[in-house]
């Protein structure tokens, strides 16, 4: 029986491949060739990196839309609704169009097995094709070279950062990981690297492919004080830009992408972008009295960014934390242990979820005060009680799953 609702389709595609992840382009390319999709009117921008992919996509999309361009943005994972992954001009796609995409993909794939992510990527590309857009902004799911997003040749490839993550899939050699992520570049096309202290593999891969590499710290620079920041290369300079709520490193990369794409940037437009842009789960304030922030920070690099954000708080905050056991829990906890007055640690459901006791095992040697809970809702309720008594902010972090669990709990609760 053919699924009829989006929920039915999602259940169906989850059941069609034994593995949630299986890197490789062959299966997807076979189906893509049968779909006969056109490219956008202007450019495909593909974004890879360990951290910062989502915020980079958000800033690129918001700027292009503000300039009157039509933009399709594909990101992952979603927090509550699958539609978040496929956005048209910053608005989640309607169920009906996604269902149409799944139905067509199911018709043409024959006996070719597709993973959940491959189904999703092909659906996004079909939706964007049908919508006749100016730009496609595509976020790589895992790695780069063998990720299904790389089925589409990028006009502009972006690498935001490089760190050890997903070692089961990408290995534990930082240079190899750099090569994998830079593998989204194409011959004669732009490759913008926002990586600080980049591994040699980025430049080597750019040479091997024949891509036009522009690197942070080499071709463009940025600097900041407490209130504003500046960006420059040999031909352009922008001063007194507002510090965005999203990571400044990624904002600097976004300016580079736009400049090297050949767009004429106005300072006033950049000021508007960085003063207003936000993204779900990226140090996002979701309520006040007490202040509550949510952040998907789940690896050492993201933990350092979160630590810097917390350092400016007037009052030491309270943590609500849940993590996946295949992440570097020890490094994240060590970085942030002294940033919180109390840790409310939660189990995360699912085979990858770590228990609260696993987190506490890392916290105890650091003399951090911690408590254990079976779910994020219970941990959050307890944290809020403490926050109201002591006048402290609460920060919910540690994983996309953690933030999703919080958002599900808070949905419809005006007092959260």
Average pLDDT over residues 308-319: 95
Task: Classify residue 287 as exposed, middle or buried by CB count within 10 Å of its CB (0-12, 13-18, 19+).
Answer: middle
Residue ranges making up the domain that contains 90: 6-276
Same domain? 245 vs 300 = no
* Residue pLDDT, tens place only, 351-362: 899 999 999 999
Total number of domains constituting the chain: 2
Assign 73 to helix, strand or coil.
strand
Q: What pLDDT is recorded for position 170?
A: 52
| pLDDT band with cut points at 50, 70 and 90 for residue 415 | very low
Alpha helices in 291-375 (DSSP H): 300-310, 329-336, 356-363
Count each helix (H run) and each strand (E run) in the chain, helices first: 15, 17
Asked if residue 65 is part of any domain, the answer here is yes
Mean pLDDT of all residues in the chain? Answer: 94
Average pLDDT over residues 406-414: 83
Q: What CATH number did the domain enclosing 352 receive?
A: 3.90.190.20
Same domain? 85 vs 176 = yes
* Residue pLDDT, tens place only, 139-150: 999 889 999 999
pTM: 0.92
Same domain? 262 vs 122 = yes
Same domain? 187 vs 245 = yes
What spatial distance separates the first Cα and last Cα of the chain, rounded to whole Å? 41
Instruction: Express as a percent the part of the chain with pLDDT over 70.
Output: 95
Same domain? 299 vs 350 = yes
* Residue pLDDT, tens place only, 235-247: 999 999 999 999 9
Cα gap 165→110, rounded to integer Å:
34
Q: Residue 16 pLDDT > 90, yes or no? A: no
Final residue belonging to a domain, choices 249, 276, 303: 276
Asked if residue 264 is part of any domain, the answer here is yes
Same domain? 271 vs 294 = no
Residues 6+ apart with CB under 8 A from 177: 50, 143, 162, 163, 164, 170, 171, 199, 201
Residues 6+ apart with CB under 8 A from 349: 375, 401
Q: Residue 77 pLDDT > 90, yes or no? A: yes
* Residue pLDDT, tens place only, 149-168: 999 999 999 999 998 665 45
Task: Classify residue 166 as exposed, middle or buried by CB count within 10 Å of its CB (0-12, 13-18, 19+).
Answer: middle
Q: What pLDDT is recorded for position 171?
A: 53
Final residue belonging to a domain, choices 252, 276, 300: 276
Q: What pLDDT is recorded for position 39?
A: 96
Cα gap 138→86, rounded to integer Å:
10
Asked if residue 415 is part of any domain, the answer here is no
Q: What CATH number did the domain enclosing 33 receive?
A: 3.40.1190.10
* Residue pLDDT, tens place only, 44-68: 999 999 999 999 999 999 999 999 9
* Residue pLDDT, tens place only, 326-352: 899 999 999 999 999 999 999 999 889
Same domain? 394 vs 354 = yes
Reported in sequence order, the residue ranges of 100-202 that DSSP labels E, i.e. its strands, are: 135-139, 156-159, 190-193
B/e letters for 373-408, b = 16+ CB within 10 Å, e = fewer, are bebbbbbbebbbebbeeeebbbbbbbbbbbbbbbbe
Residues 6+ apart with CB under 8 A from 147: 23, 48, 140, 141, 184
Cα gap 319→388, rounded to integer Å:
14
Instruction: Express as a percent the part of the chain with pLDDT over 90.
Output: 88
Average pLDDT over residues 356-381: 96
Q: What pLDDT is recorded for position 414?
A: 55
Final residue belonging to a domain, choices 223, 241, 276: 276
Cα gap 227→258, rounded to integer Å:
23
Residues 6+ apart with CB under 8 A from 288: none
- What number of other Cβ atoms are within 10 A of residue 1's Cβ? 5
* Residue pLDDT, tens place only, 171-194: 568 898 999 999 999 999 999 999
Q: Inter-axis angle of helices 267-276 and 53-66, to 10 degrees?
A: 130
Asked if residue 83 is part of any domain, the answer here is yes
């Amino acid at each position: 029986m053919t699924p009829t609702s989006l929920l039915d389709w999602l259940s169906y595609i989850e059941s069609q491949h034994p593995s949630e992840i299986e890197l490789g382009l062959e299966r997807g390319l076979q189906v893509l060739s049968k779909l006969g999709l056109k490219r956008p009117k202007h450019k495909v921008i593909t974004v890879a990196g360990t951290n910062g992919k989502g915020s980079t996509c958000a800033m690129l999309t918001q700027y292009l839309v503000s300039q009157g361009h039509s933009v399709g943005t594909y990101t992952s994972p979603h927090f509550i609704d699958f539609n978040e992954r496929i956005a048209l001009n910053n608005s989640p796609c309607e169920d009906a169009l996604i269902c149409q995409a799944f139905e067509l993909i199911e018709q043409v794939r024959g006996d070719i097995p597709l993973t959940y992510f491959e189904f999703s990527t092909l659906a996004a590309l079909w939706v964007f094709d049908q919508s006749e857009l100016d730009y496609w902004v595509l976020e790589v799911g895992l790695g780069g070279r063998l990720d299904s997003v790389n089925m589409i040749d990028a006009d502009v490839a972006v690498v935001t950062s490089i760190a050890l993550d997903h070692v089961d899939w990408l290995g534990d050699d930082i240079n190899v990981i750099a090569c994998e992520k830079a593998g989204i570049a194409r011959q004669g096309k732009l490759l913008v690297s926002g990586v600080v202290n980049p591994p040699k593999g980025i430049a080597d891969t750019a040479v091997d492919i024949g891509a036009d590499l522009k690197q942070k710290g080499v071709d463009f620079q940025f600097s900041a004080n407490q209130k504003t920041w500046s960006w420059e290369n040999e031909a352009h300079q922008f001063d007194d830009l507002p510090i965005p709520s999203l990571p400044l490193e990624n904002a600097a990369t976004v300016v580079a992408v736009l400049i090297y794409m050949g767009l004429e940037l106005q300072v006033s437009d950049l000021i508007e972008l960085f003063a207003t842009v936000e993204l779900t789960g990226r140090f996002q304030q979701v309520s006040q009295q007490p202040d509550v922030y949510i952040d998907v920070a789940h690896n050492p690099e993201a933990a350092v960014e979160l630590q810097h954000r917390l350092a400016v708080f007037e009052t030491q905050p309270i943590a609500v934390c849940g993590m996946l056991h295949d992440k570097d829990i020890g490094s994240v906890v060590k970085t942030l242990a002294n940033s919180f007055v109390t840790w409310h640690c939660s189990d995360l459901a699912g085979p990858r979820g770590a228990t609260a006791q696993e987190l506490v095992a890392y916290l105890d040697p650091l003399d951090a005060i911690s408590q254990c809970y079976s779910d994020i809702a219970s941990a959050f309720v307890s944290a809020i009680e403490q926050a109201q008594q002591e006048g402290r902010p609460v920060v919910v972090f540690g994983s996309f799953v953690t933030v999703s669990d919080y958002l599900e709990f808070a949905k419809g609760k005006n007092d959260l």
